[in-house]
Structure 1
């Protein structure tokens, strides 16, 4: 998928170095088609890393996608340069009167806090309410999924006895779902979280459909019956070394940390992790964009 991004966005050089098609603004303006307008609310502290991971997965179809980056104004990011935010990000007040074909709400390392104790919770609730009328399809990731399930359907999250950390096998509940078209019977997804959603809470909500689960990681993929909201509890967009970096970061801080499961060969952290989730991750994001954004969004974006 040609991704249209600002010429100087750091992710552009990284993706072009990986032979991923990143479209210049000039070329995008001269194509006779309406691009999909996609908004990414990036709640992660390492914003440049997350931008690059997501843009990489949104880059493999002939569709043109115009991506905008959004950050919360009620939280001051301490891990991203202020110049980067001012150059490439917008705030909700600046875009609240616009409409979007698709939106991604990322995870955030705040799952041990009650939702209402997160300093940008009120702003996030305002944004999630706004998506009902201004976004055709919204994808919530990890803590963003837990926040969305709680806000839209009053489904709580629960603390786990220990951190769920590793790359876990998953199976499909709805094998005919277009979201998982082309998937193997068993597919792998990275997880890194301290909380979870209970299966029975999802099944008790008639407006939700359970799509995929893991025996070890629990609920993975859920969607609303009207296909407007999607919730995934893992991180298919993670890079090969993301879990390793997290593991060694915590060790260097003196924090007790289990090895990420099913990740290092022979559970030996000196060995290079084996990637088993890349193809499923690419399919997942491509399917969401194709079947639940491009195929169903109105050509006149004002009619969303």
Structure 2
């Protein structure tokens, strides 16, 4: 079944061109099943690109999903016009009294700033606590995952000797996790980060689901907080790492080309997408698990006993 997004959202045309089943508001109103309510807190500066990446994956589910795009209230975007944000996004203050079956918190390009010095950190603290009362299951991505691990578990991060940058083979540690059904044993996953998680600070409430001993942990299950933490970027399209590399070179940085992205290492060639199928599989599994476990009465969300397994 389709995903319902705002009728005029620019991502709609891209998704329709790719064959994603997108539903308009009038058609959605005629459906007699309860759609899943999923929120996307988009912390990335290029809102349109990021929302397209996530809606592409959410929209591949056979279930009907109502997607709400959310932004932090206490932050003025420098890269997205205010008219665009007012047209397609709700602030967290505007949705804080709502309940969601699923909620996604994206990464943010603020890896070098201590959490407590991030300008909207007080609001992030409220949002993370709010997921425990108003959201059935949350997926924290990249910086969002680091922030949630820091807040909920006191997990420490550290600066790596060099940036982990490229597409790397990982190991599926828990093949029985409902979120990893159908995954191959060693999926390729895009990575772009300067920080890694200190494994010695992982508490007993966290379970490593996907790992790479050289690049770092990729995914953690957090049943206590009805969450998964994905530290890398399966949502990326085939140009995401390449464009980041081009920006670094244009800025005069000596960033090496992303590993295992370009055919034969040729940075003029079209990047190869070696992770697309696993990206779709992860989000379909996540949404299916939400569908199987979320209360039909949304008023019960936040009070239910967690039935989701990590």
Q: TM-score, normalised by structure 1?
A: 0.97
The alpha-carbon deviation at position 249 of structure 1 amounts to 1.1
Local SS of the residue matching 1:179 = helix
Say if 1:53 and 1:256 are closer, same or farther in 2 by CA, change over 3 A.
Answer: same
Over residues 189-236 of structure 1, what are the superposed CA-to-partner deviations in whole Å (9 max), with x where a residue is unaligned? 10111111122322xx11111111013321011011347111011100
Tell whether the 8 Å contact from 2:47 to 2:80 is kept in structure 1 after alignment.
Answer: yes
Q: Aligned ranges for residues 92-171 of structure 1 at < 5 Å? A: 92-171=92-171
Tell whether the 8 Å contact from 1:198 to 1:219 is kept in structure 2 after alignment.
Answer: no
The corresponding residue for 1:264 is 262
| Equivalent pairs, count | 301
Tell whether the 8 Å contact from 2:154 to 2:201 is kept in structure 1 after alignment.
Answer: no
Determine whether 1:9 maps to 2:6: no
Q: Distance in 1 between matches of 2:113 and 2:69?
A: 25
The alpha-carbon deviation at position 97 of structure 1 amounts to 1.0
Q: Distance in 2 between matches of 1:200 and 1:289?
A: 31
Q: Distance in 2 between matches of 1:30 and 1:87?
A: 24
The corresponding residue for 1:53 is 53
RMSD: 1.0
Runs of 4+ in 1 over 4 A off after TM superposition: none
Tell whether the 8 Å contact from 1:222 to 1:232 is kept in structure 2 after alignment.
Answer: yes
Tell whether the 8 Å contact from 1:168 to 1:216 is kept in structure 2 after alignment.
Answer: no
Over residues 120-158 of structure 1, what are the superposed CA-to-partner deviations in whole Å (9 max), with x where a residue is unaligned? 111111100111100000000001100010011110111
The alpha-carbon deviation at position 163 of structure 1 amounts to 1.1
The corresponding residue for 2:237 is 239
Tell whether the 8 Å contact from 2:61 to 2:287 is kept in structure 1 after alignment.
Answer: no
Q: Distance in 2 between matches of 1:247 and 1:216?
A: 21
The alpha-carbon deviation at position 8 of structure 1 amounts to 0.2
Local SS of the residue matching 1:69 = strand
Q: Aligned ranges for residues 75-86 of structure 1 at < 5 Å? A: 75-86=75-86
The corresponding residue for 1:21 is 21
Determine whether 1:302 maps to 2:296: no
The corresponding residue for 1:187 is 187
Tell whether the 8 Å contact from 2:262 to 2:272 is kept in structure 1 after alignment.
Answer: yes
Local SS of the residue matching 1:218 = coil
Q: TM-score, normalised by structure 2?
A: 0.95
The corresponding residue for 1:277 is 275
Select between 193-202 and 233-242 the one with higher mean Cα deviation.
Answer: 193-202
